[in-house]
Amino acid sequence: MGTVVVLELYTVPEQAGLTELLSRACARLHEADDVFSTWQEASPMSRLRRGDITLEQAPPEIARVLERCEMARTLTHGWFDPWAMPGGVDPTGLVKGWAAERALEVLRAPTVIGAMVNAAGDIAAFGGPSTSAPFRVGIVDPAERGQLACVVQLAGAIATSGTYERGAHLVDPHTGRGAARLASASVCGPDLGLADAFATALAVAGQPGLAFVEAAEGYEALAIGHDGRWQWTPGFPFAPPSPVPPDRPARMSPA
């Protein structure tokens, strides 16, 4: 999938078998890359895009992921649409999160207090660094990449989309042209694959996209505009204290 994935485990003292857990989680990530990579010409996903094989001939997980993509396309009113990407259907905007969730499943063990699978900044997690504390993760300020815009109290998954790290790579599926109407779009929720799709769609759609995130049960979003203005859904899990930067409180408002 052309990215770096970091796995973190927090366990009870003197826990054995961690190497095996991590190896199994890594194996799941490699399996997903072997199937879905659009960089590898021989991968089933690449062959399907070229028309060398049919969906029925492809590994069954491709059909399952494309079903999730179809659901995401419906929920985002077409702002996330892998079938509108150049070169043929491309589920990359969802499959990275899907793969991270599959790796996270392996790490659920009785002696594991918490775990995170960080796929290039998109994170799937459970538990926390201790039994009494949830994970807290920072969202980069798109205007000052060396600083954090805010900190989130994480229970589940978070995905962020924008062009400040990778440059212009987002495509408006309605026009086929590059578009990023937000500087940064972050979505939290129970599933990283869907959160990733929502974040991509929100970054392209702009502030009106907050409505389709809010309509999805369990998902919340933060939108940071190119003008520095923040808007968010009512339940976005800002970590205390208040996230309002002291120099720009007037720019912030709930959606």
**Helix or strand run (H / E) with residue 178:** none
Q: For residue range 161-201, what is the model confidence (pLDDT) as tens digits?
A: 987 766 567 889 988 888 899 999 999 999 999 999 999 99
Mean pLDDT of 1-15: 84
Q: What is the pLDDT of residue 242?
A: 55
Q: What is the pTM of this model?
A: 0.91
100 pLDDT more than 90: yes
- Among 2-11, 52-61, 113-122, 183-192, the minimum mean pLDDT is found in 2-11
Mean pLDDT of 207-221: 97
243 pLDDT more than 60: no
Q: What is the pLDDT of residue 1?
A: 63
What is residue 40's three-state secondary structure? coil
Contact 190, 218 (CB under 8 A): yes
What is residue 199's three-state secondary structure? helix
Q: What is the pLDDT of residue 132?
A: 84
> In the chain, helix, strand, coil percent, each to 5?
35, 25, 40
% pLDDT > 90, the chain: 75
DSSP 90-134: -THHHHHHHHHHHHHHHT--TTEEEEEEEETTEEEEEE-SBTTB-
What is residue 232's three-state secondary structure? strand
Q: What is the pLDDT of residue 167?
A: 58
Decide which of 3.10.520.10, 1.10.1040.10, 3.40.190.10, 3.30.9.30 is the CATH code for 5-254: 3.10.520.10
Q: How many helices (H) and strands (E) does the chain have?
A: 6, 10
% pLDDT > 70, the chain: 91
Contact 203, 184 (CB under 8 A): yes
Tell me the HSE value of 58 on the side-chain side, using a 13 A CA sphere: 24
Tell me the HSE value of 179 on the side-chain side, using a 13 A CA sphere: 17
Joined tokens for residue 223: 């939108």
Return the domain boundaries, the chain.
5-254
**C-alpha 87: how far from chain center:** 22
